[in-house]
Amino acid sequence: MLTDLLPGPTVVSTLALVSALGCALVAGIFLTFSSFVMAALGRLPAEHGIAAMQAINVTVLNPLFLGLFFGTGLLCLGLAIGSIFRWLAPGGLYLIAAGILYVVGSVLVTTIFNVPLNETLAKVAPASPEGAVVWQRYLADWTLWNHVRTFCAALAAVLMMAALR
């Protein structure tokens, strides 16, 4: 039977714990930006804020962050898919919900909304009039979608922890 091929409760609990930690760490990173980094950058002259965010957007593409962000996504997705076959098992529905929430609310939102905004910002000259216009829209739109990512990653962490109960 297919369910016999799925990992046992100890493995699932360990993966859920690691996923909860990953979701919480990612939520913390996003919360940092939502709570004060973007506000601080918005207080700077546009060219300085743009230059700083352009540097952040290059620097964030490192193995540690990408491994945490996408590795957590893979774990969440795996737990959600595996739990579909055991949705009546203790914590099964929480694992499904947490996995969907993290993958959709953090990974897909990042890919569909935040990354294109970053790519648009990367193309402008910080001191240009066009840059100032792009920057004002960027601050509002990027921060809005970052709030969504923060909430989804944090709630996914809570749901993963609830699955462990």
Q: What is the mean pLDDT of residues 37-61?
A: 98
Confidence of residue 58 (pLDDT cuts 50, 70, 90): very high
Q: The whole model's pTM is what?
A: 0.92
Give the least confident one: 53-57, 119-123, 161-165. Answer: 161-165
Q: What is the mean pLDDT of residues 128-139?
A: 97
SS3 6: coil
What single-letter DSSP state applies at residue 1? -
In this structure, are residues 131 and 46 in contact, taking their beta carbons and an 8 Å threshold?
yes
Give pLDDT, residue 3.
Answer: 42
Give pLDDT, residue 4.
Answer: 45
Confidence of residue 9 (pLDDT cuts 50, 70, 90): low
In this structure, are residues 115 and 149 in contact, taking their beta carbons and an 8 Å threshold?
no
**CA-closest candidate to residue 38, choices 142, 129, 115:** 142
Q: What is the mean pLDDT of the chain?
A: 94
Write the single-letter amino acid at 44.
Answer: L
Give pLDDT, residue 87.
Answer: 77
